[in-house]
Amino acid sequence: MRYIFLFLSILTFSQQTKSVDFISCEALLFPDAKTKSISGTVHYLFEIKNNIDSVKIDAKNMIFSAIYINDNTKFKYKLTNDQIILYDGLKKGLNGITIKYEAKPKQTLYFTGERENLQIWTQGQGKYTSHWLPSFDDVNEKVIFKLGVYFDQKHHVLSNGKLINKINPKFPNEKKTLWEYEMQKPMSSYLVMLAIGNFEKQTATTKSGTLLEFYLDKKDISKFKPTYRYSLEMFDYLEQEIGVKYPWGIYRQVPVRDFLYAGMENTTSTIFAQDFVVDEIGFNDRNYINVNAHELAHQWFGDLITAQSGKHHWLQEGFATYYALLAERHLFGDDYFYEELNDYAEQLKRASKTDTIPVMNEKASSLSFYKKGAWALHVMREDIGAKNFQKAVKKYLKKYQYKNVNTDDFLKIVKEVSGYDVENFKKVWLETAGFEMEIAQKYLSKNKFIQEYFALKKSKKSLSELTEILKSNAYYPIKQYIVYQTRNIPFEERKVILETALATNDILVRRAVAEYTPIIPEVFKTQYETLLNDNSYQTKEIALINLCESFPEEVEKYLKQTKGIEGNNDKSLKLTWLKLKILKGQNSRFDQENSIDELLKYASVDFESSIRQNALEILLVVNYENPKVIEALFLATNHHKWQFTKFARDNVRLLLKKTEYRNIVEKLVANSNSTIKELYTKFLNEKF
């Protein structure tokens, strides 16, 4: 029945969009961090084109203080947990509805941190904006939004479109500012956003005159350059490559803590995960470049044009993934591009054993939508030529701008432009499950590096030949592969390979040496120790672990050498350092307790989920029966990020199977506050 209801709901909205056109939305919003709620007044202007029995607006679990149509409060309507359903008071032509509401969303609008660390942000992917704003779960309903947001003057407020007005307090005792943002063109509701925080801003202007705004938390202002590296160049490249001017006038990007995904392409205003905020060393481990390009490409593919349904989702994700690769090709060259394509192909081939759903299916995997979709576009671009592909894409975007599309809309234009056999393309790449690795390899083999890589994997070269390759200018994945392939041969024979790999001074090749040499012979110790100096937190961490394991008598030396290094955003290196200090260091009881306390600090609600999880993983090894560790683990089960809560719940349930652990938790219940007591009781009462 659930699926029948969902089908009827979609069908009803589809019928509504044919008869009713919602034109604009003006909203005045009041987020409240103390109560984790939002209230406001929303006014929609809409046109009734044909006779219709009712008009629906999605609104999840909201309380309404007033609803009126065309200034009339006396009309019939029905409220459900999901919708406002209007029955009368409507007229053919233009209508207006005003809604005063309050909501305490359980999802989509998130409140994290407190005071100067407070952040409020949205993630409306697909159809979830209706949890915090009366709107439309149907992506085919496009509206011009204008949002005013009233909030504490100490924080920066961001939304879609241009900031047209900022009204500061008139009197000294006033502490709130009104921020007004306005779109000029229509967009789907799921792309409406809010981001509020203690942000700092930098700007740039593109060749075509578009203003770019880059935001970071004020604590991270030293990280602007490495975080947003190549942003301006990628924008200029994508605008030129796509062939259609950026359609929205302004583009901003802002990272937030504990974001649910890598990034989200809200129209004009991308939100992305704090994990991509990096310093110069962290840039070499994990950077924002690919996500940056992907979300920017969505401003055309997903925002300017939007897929009519999940069946055609690849038109958004496949395009964004492929154009991000093209941007990286522009920055880093053909070898990088083909290495990434080959990696996609290998992932798809492995997944094809169990992934039996084709791209053109709303239940297809993310891997299919994103990476098989990108591969399909690469095949098409190679077959019809880059110029024809660009011509077709440009025509497609121009024809359907600010509208909704399906796969046939795109393929029809491709056929018109190039005469391409789109039916065969559709069958092989979009309607058939699995992955055509043999076909893919023909396209990959156009690149010399890939030819050499494939040849190396098939060959049985001597150590001297492999050493010469390491000395050559071969692209780094070939050198990584050599280090990996020789990992199981005796060290005496492999020594020259490792020394030559280190001598390349390539960060990624040297990291391969760290990773694939877990046991370090004494004669290689001095050379291996140089890895602790590499400009990579990942390499430092791997090397630190392996050195402490191989030379326990020198742990204190290695800990001293790496003391005080925080590492990347998840503090993995710092936390690994604490773990090694506890388990392998020469600690007094005072030192041990201090290290445990520091881990507990990082496991607390004051830190991001990635940091908390890393800290908890260590605490569960070194001190899992500690009441403070138990409390931190149970509190983690309440987090909004499902990956983190799953980790916490899985560990809680596993540990509660131990009688002694269960006994400790039962004793803690009596002396705990109501929040943690409720959590303890909930899990204690579960049946395993």
Q: Which of 299, 325, 346 is the last residue of a domain?
A: 299
CATH number assigned to the domain comprising residue 333: 1.10.390.10
Claim to verify: residue 104 and residue 215 sit in the same structural domain: no
Both tokens of 144, joined, read 């011009």
| Tens of pLDDT, residues 477-519 | 999 999 999 999 999 999 999 999 999 999 999 999 999 999 9
Is position 492 within any domain? no
| Tens of pLDDT, residues 157-193 | 999 999 999 998 777 777 899 999 999 999 999 999 9
| Tens of pLDDT, residues 50-89 | 888 889 999 999 999 999 998 887 788 899 999 999 987 7
Task: Quote the pLDDT of residue 225.
Answer: 98
Is position 260 within any domain? yes
Task: Quote the pLDDT of residue 1.
Answer: 35
5 pLDDT above the threshold of 60: no
| Tens of pLDDT, residues 79-96 | 999 999 998 778 899 999
Is position 521 within any domain? no
The rounded percent of the chain whose pLDDT value lies above 90 is 90
Kindly tell me the sign of the dihedral angle through the C-alpha atoms of 501, 507, 512, 513: positive
7 pLDDT above the threshold of 50: no
| Tens of pLDDT, residues 41-50 | 999 999 999 8
Q: Is 495 exposed, middle or buried (0-12, 13-18, 19+ CB in 10 A)?
A: middle
Reported as a pLDDT band with limits 50, 70 and 90, residue 2 is very low
Q: Which of 449, 477, 507 is the last residue of a domain?
A: 449
| Tens of pLDDT, residues 424-472 | 999 999 999 999 999 999 999 999 999 999 999 999 999 999 999 999 9
Residue type, 679: L
Q: CB neighbours of 438 closer than 8 A, spacing ≥ 6?
A: none
Report DSSP letters for 586-639, one per residue. Answer: ---HHHHHHHHHHHHHHTSTTS-HHHHHHHHHHHHHH-TT-HHHHHHHHHHTT-
148 pLDDT above the threshold of 80: yes
Claim to verify: residue 203 and residue 73 sit in the same structural domain: no
Claim to verify: residue 273 and residue 419 sit in the same structural domain: no
Cα 198 to Cα 584: distance, rounded to the nearest angstrom: 40
Claim to verify: residue 222 and residue 325 sit in the same structural domain: no
Claim to verify: residue 25 and residue 102 sit in the same structural domain: yes
Q: How many structural domains does the chain have?
A: 4
Q: Which of 62-76, 116-130, 361-375 is predicted least confidently?
A: 62-76
| Tens of pLDDT, residues 201-241 | 999 999 999 999 999 999 999 999 999 999 999 999 999 99
Is position 494 within any domain? no
| Torsion angle of the four alpha carbons 54, 310, 108, 606, in this order, in degrees rounded to the nearest 10 | 170
Task: Quote the pLDDT of residue 72.
Answer: 80
Is position 655 within any domain? yes
Claim to verify: residue 80 and residue 183 sit in the same structural domain: yes
CATH number assigned to the domain comprising residue 205: 3.30.2010.30
Task: Quote the pLDDT of residue 321.
Answer: 98
CATH number assigned to the domain comprising residue 151: 2.60.40.1730
Cα 505 to Cα 509: distance, rounded to the nearest angstrom: 8
Whether residue 245 contacts residue 234, with contact meaning beta carbons closer than 8 Å, is answered with no
Is position 116 within any domain? yes
- What domain range is 659 assigned to? 590-688
Q: CB neighbours of 6 closer than 8 A, spacing ≥ 6?
A: none
CATH number assigned to the domain comprising residue 631: 1.25.10
Is position 480 within any domain? no
> Mean pLDDT throughout 136-145?
96
> Mean pLDDT throughout 386-413?
98
Nearest to 255 by CA among 230, 224, 283: 224
Q: Which of 266, 299, 332 is the last residue of a domain?
A: 299
Claim to verify: residue 238 and residue 185 sit in the same structural domain: no
Reported as a pLDDT band with limits 50, 70 and 90, residue 8 is very low
Claim to verify: residue 16 and residue 159 sit in the same structural domain: yes
Claim to verify: residue 180 and residue 49 sit in the same structural domain: yes
Claim to verify: residue 147 and residue 282 sit in the same structural domain: no
Nearest to 568 by CA among 513, 608, 528: 608
Task: Quote the pLDDT of residue 176.
Answer: 93
Claim to verify: residue 166 and residue 37 sit in the same structural domain: yes
Reading phi first (left if > 0) and then psi (alpha if -120 to 50, else beta), residue 20 is in beta
Cα 302 to Cα 270: distance, rounded to the nearest angstrom: 13
532 pLDDT above the threshold of 80: yes
Claim to verify: residue 178 and residue 316 sit in the same structural domain: no
Is position 174 within any domain? yes
Kindly tell me the sign of the dihedral angle through the C-alpha atoms of 320, 326, 330, 332: positive
